[in-house]
Amino acid sequence: MTKAKDRKERGSALEKALRVLEAVADQPQSVGLPDVTARVGLPRQTVHRVLLQLEENGLVLRDPSRDRFAVGPQLTRLALKSLYSANQGAPLRSILQELVDDIQETCNVGVLDGLEFVYLERIECDWSLRVHLTAGSRVPAHCVSGGKVLLGHLPDELRGRLLRSARLKAHTEKTITKVADLEKELDAVRKAGYALNNEEFSIGIGGLGVPILDGSGRPVAALALHAPVARLSVDDMLAHLPKLQGAAKRLAKTWRLDGVAPAPAR
């Protein structure tokens, strides 16, 4: 086999694997072989072979009882690593630093990992009274603004399963721990386009979070600020909402997420 032909075949295999991965990741729930085949436009046998190879490497998970496929743990880890990789962190940090300099409060960017909100980047303000956390820190998603805004944008069925998969721990007397109450709150978050943390994780600390959306309107990450409520009231936080939304759009452009026409409102 010539080198040129070898490169072509390997490239072709990679392209097929990427198309299959995208078809699985695009769905809000596990998907069967016929549906994946229809979406990628490849022969059924080829798609099945690619799915089995992806399963062997942890990139997809297969439910043997129904022969359906979902995003695997290795793909989740790879996505998280790529988002907070130092290889692309400079533009993200620059935008975040400008926002912190402007509003004079701590800001962070994070993603949802199950029921946890993981900080990809975080820049502290200069005030002495602040919460000290670092990139890579994990906090409960149900009681911080970044986590709530991402939970709020999940498809209803997926969100319901996720919230019922574990007990919602109370961190303060204001933490919402009943699933029905939290779902009502998250419905309002989706409609409003932002989430508030009203001392739900730490007494005396509030937060405001907005989604970072791709071109189809799906959230990829969240941008949030938080501050002592003695220094920044809810109304004060909401006054900064346009600045957070503007920074979120800039981050989407940095990640090249804005190349698709927005999806119609649901």
Place of tokens 């926002």: 99
Whether domain 84-254 has CATH 3.40.50.300:
no
For every residue of 221-260, DSSP letters joined together read: EEEEEEEETTTS-HHHHHHTHHHHHHHHHHHHHHTT---S
pLDDT over threshold 50, residue 5: no
Q: What is the pLDDT of residue 185?
A: 96
pLDDT over threshold 50, residue 28: yes
Residue % of the chain over a pLDDT of 90: 37
Q: What is the pLDDT of residue 257?
A: 67
What is the residue extent of each domain of the chain? Answer: 3-72, 84-254
pLDDT over threshold 70, residue 8: no
Q: What is the pLDDT of residue 263?
A: 40
Q: What is the pLDDT of residue 148?
A: 97
pLDDT over threshold 60, residue 260: no
DSSP letter, residue 241: H
| Cα 173 to Cα 64: distance, rounded to the nearest angstrom | 42
pLDDT over threshold 60, residue 86: no
Whether the Cβ atoms of residue 109 and residue 149 lie closer than 8 Å to each other: no
Instruction: Burial-class residue 86 by CB neighbours within 10 Å (0-12, 13-18, 19+).
Output: exposed
pLDDT over threshold 90, residue 122: no
| Cα 157 to Cα 1: distance, rounded to the nearest angstrom | 49
pLDDT over threshold 60, residue 55: yes
pLDDT tier at 262, thresholds 50, 70, 90:
very low
How does the average pLDDT of the chain come out, rounded? 83
Place of tokens 């961190």: 171
Mean pLDDT score, 172-178? 95
Q: What is the pLDDT of residue 202?
A: 92
Q: What is the pLDDT of residue 6?
A: 47
pLDDT over threshold 60, residue 129: no
Q: What's the CATH class of domain 3-72?
A: mainly alpha
pLDDT over threshold 80, residue 259: no
- Higher pLDDT pick, 81 / 151: 151
| Cα 24 to Cα 54: distance, rounded to the nearest angstrom | 11
Q: What is the pLDDT of residue 1?
A: 46
Which of the residue ranges 29-33, 205-209, 214-218 has the most confident prediction, judged by mean pLDDT? 205-209
Q: What is the pLDDT of residue 63?
A: 79
Q: What is the pLDDT of residue 243?
A: 96
Give the pTM: 0.69
- Higher pLDDT pick, 248 / 260: 248
